[in-house]
Amino acid sequence: MKSIKLLIPISFIALLLSCSNDKKADGYGNFEATEITISSEANGKLQFLNIEEGQLVEKGAVLGLVDTLQPYLNKQQLLATKATVASKSGGVWSQVEMLQEELKNIKIEQQRVQNMFADNAATQQQLDQANSRVDVLKKQIKNVESKNSPIINEGKAIAAQVALVEEQITRSNIINPINGTVLAKYAEPGELVSFGKPLYKVANLNLMELRVYLSQTQLSNIKIGQQVTVKVDSGDTMKEYTGKISWISSSAEFTPKIIQTKEERVNLVYAIKIIIENDGSLKIGMPAEMWIHGQ
Instruction: Kindly list the strands in the beta sheet with 35-39, ordered across the sheet, starting from the edge strand earlier in the chain.
Output: 35-39, 198-203, 180-185, 56-57
Bigger pLDDT: 129 vs 38: 38
For 190: left if phi > 0, alpha if psi spans -120 to 50, otherwise beta; the answer is left
Q: What is the pLDDT of residue 2?
A: 43
Indicate whether 37 pLDDT > 80.
Answer: yes
Q: Which pTM does this prediction carry? A: 0.65
142-177 pLDDT, tens digit each: 877 777 778 778 888 999 999 999 999 999 999 999
For 7-18, how does the pLDDT look when each residue is reduced to its tens digit (9 = 90+)? Answer: 444 443 343 344
Listed residue (235, 295, 225, 233) closest to 30, CA to CA: 233
Q: How far is CA 269 from CA 26, 33, 212, 217, 229, in A?
A: 12, 22, 10, 9, 20
Instruction: Provide DSSP, 23-70.
Output: PPPSEEEEEE--EEEEE-SS-EEEEEE---TT-EE-TT-EEEEE--HH
- The CATH topology of domain 25-34+204-292 is Elongation Factor Tu (Ef-tu); domain 3 (2.40.30)
Name the β-bridge partners of 44.
193
Name the pLDDT band for 263 (thresholds 50, 70, 90).
Answer: low
Q: Give the lowest-confidence range in 9-18, 100-109, 228-237, 264-273.
A: 9-18
* Fold of the domain built from segment(s) 36-67+174-203: OB fold (Dihydrolipoamide Acetyltransferase, E2P) (2.40.50)
The span from the CA of 37 to the CA of 178, in Å, is 11
Indicate the helix (H) or strand (E) that contains 277. Answer: strand 268-277
The predicted pLDDT at position 134 comes to 83
Confidence of residue 38 (pLDDT cuts 50, 70, 90): very high
More confident residue, 210 or 98: 210
Q: Which pLDDT band holds residue 257 (cuts at 50, 70, 90)?
A: low
The reported pLDDT for the residue numbered 12 is 37
Q: Is 19 helix (H, G, I), strand (E, B) or coil?
A: helix
